[in-house]
Amino acid sequence: MIDFKKFFPFLNKVVYLDSAAMMQKPISVIEKINEFYLNFAVNTHSQNSKIAYENLAKIAKTREKIAKFIDAESEEIMFNSGTTEAINLFASMIKKFLKKGDQILLSPLNHSSNLIVWIKIAKEIGAEIIYSKKIIDKISSKTRIIAFSQTNNSILLNLNLDEIWKKAIKYDVFVLNDATQAISYQKVSLNFCHAVAFSSNKFYGPTGLGVLAIKKNLINKLEPTKFGGGTIASLNSENIFYYNNYRKFEPGTLNFAAIWGLDAAINFVNNIGIKNISKRLEILSNYLYEKLEKIKDIEIFSKKGDHILLFNIKGFNSSDIASYLGNNNIYVRSGTFCVPFLKKILKKNSFVRISLAFYNDFSDIDNLIEHLEKKEFLDFV
């Protein structure tokens, strides 16, 4: 098995099994962020300089690379602070198409960032929230918006994005794909939705940067709900004239250093290949499941082959297990992972979550299993 850890400095220090919370960053990404601050730290709003133009070119090129990666056009790519902001921005702009009695269709496994804003909007307008894990079975003539995660951060589902899209189009429904967990290992495409949101942080890139991609024909119908410099072509005492492209949705100074880092992350992923990442992840996920299921009194809530896996061990609190592992330099997570309905769905109050990435290896899993088998979860206190 190829040693990918050599590209990730932090992995020399810990056993990292919490990638659903934050992906680790390859050295090439870290170096590009440093390069920006060392050599290119000029605002693009100060356009009368060579460095500012170089920054503009870098941003444009990164926009093009993202577009190609998700089957979009560069004019459809907007930068923001992360998936949470991207979803909130899309919701605040699309809500003008909602009316009283319309339905917003959500997965009960959605992250809070893809739940709370829709519940607030539904209450404000008088729309109805409908929940379905399958999504497609609840699409009807009353549905106006669908918001789901291509890959969830807890229990993984196999959604047929093509069929959901076809039925949504039939009923004239807007579709948002929260792709923040999928973008690191699956094909993500704007061909099967109106909007895609994801974080650089979950794509081996820096924190503090996100992407919202919206189909061009919809962008032209939306108005910004966040305002600031760089968004308007002109202004008089009565009227605002916005740029008629992505610029009107990117107020203020962008996170330039993070964009440089994301550009390097895209190059890194493209050099390895998303299919190769997915295949390696499948091998590791199967190995993890086979090892875990042999542990006495373990209760596994995920399927074999899931790279995000939830479990409990009878007689022990999930937080004690996670704390014990953390104090032994093995990083997992416990809780419900910002999925408010997870307790109701799985009928447990808390879980231990292991989330693998392609940079993990068999030794990481073996180390985890060795510590779990000891069941010394209270001895570290």
193 is catalytic: no
Distance, CA of 161 to CA of 199 (rounded, Å): 20
- 6 has a pLDDT exceeding 90: yes
pLDDT (tens digit per residue) in 8-31: 999 999 999 999 999 999 999 999
pLDDT digits (tens, 9 = 90+) for 70-103: 999 999 999 999 999 999 999 999 999 999 999 9
Q: What number of other Cβ atoms are within 10 A of residue 34's Cβ?
A: 13
The strand pairing partners of 148, in sequence order, are 177
Using one digit for the tens of pLDDT, what is the confidence trace for 290-339? 999 999 999 999 999 999 999 999 999 999 999 999 999 999 999 999 99
In this prediction, residue 242 has a pLDDT band, given cuts at 50, 70 and 90, of confident
Q: Which two tokens stand for residue 345?
A: 């769905």
Retrieve residue 289's tokens: 């499941």
Sequence-distant (6+) residues with CB within 8 A of 201 are 22, 23, 82, 207, 208, 209
Which tokens hold the place of 206?
């820096």
Please, what are the domains in the chain? Answer: 5-25+274-374 (3.90.1150.10), 42-271 (3.40.640.10)
Can you tell me the distance from the alpha carbon of 40 to that of 241, in angstroms, rounded to the nearest whole number?
31
DSSP string, 48-80: SSHHHHHHHHHHHHHHHHHHHHTT--GGGEEEE
- Paired tokens of 153: 């951060």
Set 136, 338, 345, 369: catalytic member: 338
CA distance 329 to 48: 50
